[in-house]
């Protein structure tokens, strides 16, 4: 399969360095795999990412989904000509998680010239579905 990325020489180390000083770093997100048409990222379920009942906060799941999808779009576009911004996200929270890590797999459903749509599946350490999300990203010309 041909890679969908604008540049194929991006490393996990570079992706993780991009998150320095951002929400991704604050919540402990870490990119774990770059495939030809997908990205994987993980996030700990700990005091930074849970709600008062001790369960993974839905907002943390949404932040994880938006991060992996937005970075995916950023890898597809020509950064000299375009920027990408989240336009809409939804999430169905299916299962609670109290510890360990959650793992997000992002795959594009649509790659257009003005928008990208991503499907993001978040699972727990046992590969059980925790959250199903869809992200729409707008592709804008640089000014």
Domain residue ranges of the chain, discontinuous segments joined by +: 12-141
- Tens of pLDDT, residues 76-120: 999 999 999 999 999 999 999 999 999 999 999 999 999 999 999
CB proximity list for 132: less than 8 A, separation 6 or greater = 91, 92, 94, 119, 120, 121, 122
pTM of the model: 0.96
Q: Active site residue: 66, 88, 119, 126, which one?
A: 66
Cα separation, 70 vs 19, whole angstroms: 12
* In the predicted structure, residue 55 carries a pLDDT above the cut 80: yes
Supply the CATH classification number for the domain 12-141.
3.10.129.10
Spatial strand order in the sheet of 129-141: 30-34, 39-44, 101-111, 115-123, 129-141, 82-93
Mean pLDDT of 45-70: 98
For 4-17, how does the pLDDT look when each residue is reduced to its tens digit (9 = 90+)?
Answer: 999 888 999 999 99
Q: Looking at residue 2, what is its pLDDT?
A: 84
Q: How far apart are CA 57 and CA 95, in angstroms?
A: 11
Spatial distance between the Cα atoms of 22 and 16, rounded to a whole number of angstroms:
11
Q: Active site includes 30? A: no
User: Does residue 46 surpass a pLDDT of 90?
Assistant: yes
């Amino acid at each position: 399969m041909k890679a969908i990325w604008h540049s194929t020489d991006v490393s996990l180390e570079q992706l993780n360095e991009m998150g320095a000083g951002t929400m991704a770093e604050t919540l402990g997100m870490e990119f774990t795999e770059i495939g030809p048409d997908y990205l994987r990222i993980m996030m700990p379920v700990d005091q930074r990412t849970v709600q008062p009942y001790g369960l993974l906060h839905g907002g943390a799941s949404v932040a994880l989904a938006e991060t992996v999808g937005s970075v995916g779009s950023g890898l597809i576009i020509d950064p000299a000509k375009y920027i990408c911004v989240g336009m809409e996200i939804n999430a169905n929270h299916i299962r609670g998680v109290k510890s360990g890590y959650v793992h997000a797999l992002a795959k594009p459903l649509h790659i257009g010239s003005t928008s990208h749509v991503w499907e993001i599946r978040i699972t727990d350490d046992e590969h059980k579905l925790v959250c199903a999300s869809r992200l729409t990203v707008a592709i804008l010309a640089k000014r």
